[in-house]
Structure 1
Amino acid sequence: MDVTEQRHFQRVPFATGSTVEFRGERHDAEVVDISLKGALLRLTGLTSIQRGDVCAVSISLSNSDIVIQFEAEAAHLRDQLLGVKLLKIDIDSMIHLRNIVELNTANPDQVRKELSFLHCED
C-alpha cells in the first residue's frame, strides 16, 4: 500500500523554518508540508536520525513570534526529507497547527473531521 493511501490526515504545503532536536543534536530544517499528525521537513545538513527516533520539532511562523513545538517520531528519512509523526503537543501549539491546516486547505470541514478523529485515538 502506498504511504499516501495510508494517511488519514491531509497534508498542506507550508514553507517556513524549523529545527529538529534529537540525542543532543540540533538541525535546521524547512517545513515542506504539514498535517494535524505530522510534517515533512527538508533538513539542511547531514543527520544521523533514524526511523523510530524521538525528536523535538520547533516550527517558527514567519513574521511572528509564534513557535509550534511538539514531540515527534521519525517515520522516514529519504535523502534530506524527514517525515515525522506527531506524538505530543501542547494545546497552544495544537491550536496554531489547526489554524495553519484549516487556512491552507480547500476543505476546512475535513480538518474538523480529522480533529474529531484525534479525540477518539488513544
Structure 2
Amino acid sequence: MTTSSNNRRRFQRIDFDAPTELRQGDRRWPVKLLDLSLKGLLVERPQPWNADLSQDFDAVIHLDPHTHVRMQVELRHEEAQRLGFVCLYIDLDSMSHLHRLVELNVADSTEMMRELRELIE
C-alpha cells in the first residue's frame, strides 16, 4: 500500500486492495477497489454496469471476514474504466476502521489531523 500524491486533493488517497461491493437496492456489483480516502473511493467499473445513477449506493469494503467499512456514497465521476464516489454517510465503527487504515498509510500525522478537521467541518 502506498499513498497516492495529488496536491489538488483535500484528502489523501491511499492505494488499497480489499474485496469491495457496490449495492443499490437489490443489485450488487463486486468491484476492484483502486484507492480510498476519508471522503470517498475509486473503483474499477464493473461489467455490466446497469446502475440507476440518480440513486445513491452503499459501498462495503471487506477488511476481513468480521470487519468491514460501510459507506453511503454518491457517484461523483464516471470514466470508461473507473468510478469515483464521494462518501455521504459513514457510521462510527466504519469511520474508526477507515481512519486507522488511512493513519497507517499517511506518514505525516499533522496531515492526518488536518484531514480529520476538514471532514468534521
Relative to the length of structure 1, the TM-score reads 0.84
Aligned residue type for 1:104? N
1:1-122 matches, cutoff 5 A: 6-49=8-51, 53-62=55-64, 64-120=65-121
**In structure 2, distance between residues paired with 1:106 and 1:43:** 30
The DSSP-based 3-state class of the residue aligned with 1:33 is strand
Answer yes or no: is the 8 Å Cα contact 1:22–1:54 preserved in 2.
Answer: yes
Q: Tell me, in whole angstroms, the C-alpha distance in 2 between the residues paired with 1:47 and 1:5.
A: 31
The aligned amino acid for 1:68 is V
Instruction: Please name the residue that 2:3 is paired with.
Output: none
Rounded Cα–Cα distance in structure 2 between residues aligned with 1:94 and 1:79: 30
Of the structure 1 ranges 84-93 and 22-31, higher mean CA displacement relative to structure 2 is found in 22-31
Q: Percent identity?
A: 30
Secondary structure of 2:75's counterpart equals strand
1:28/1:43 contact within 8 Å kept: no
**Cα 1:5–1:22 shift into 2, 3 Å:** farther
Code of the aligned partner of 2:16: F
Q: Which runs of 5+ in 2 are unaligned?
A: 1-5
Residue 112 of structure 1 and its aligned partner are, at CA, apart by: 1.6
Supply the RMSD in Å over aligned alpha carbons: 1.9
How many residue pairs get aligned? The number is 116
Alignment partners' CA distance in 2, 1:76 and 1:51: 11
Q: State whether residues 52 and 75 of structure 1, in contact with CA within 8 Å, keep that contact through their aligned partners in structure 2.
A: no
User: Following the alignment from structure 1 to structure 2, what is the Cα–Cα distance between the partners of residues 43 and 61?
Assistant: 20
Q: Give the TM-score, by structure 2 length.
A: 0.85
List gaps (5 residues or longer) in structure 1: none
Give the 3-state SS of the residue equivalent to 1:47 in structure 2.
coil
Higher mean alpha-carbon deviation, 44-53 vs 107-116, is at: 44-53
CA distance in 1: counterparts of 2:55 and 2:75, whole angstroms: 5
1:27 and 1:10 mapped to 2: Cα distance? 25
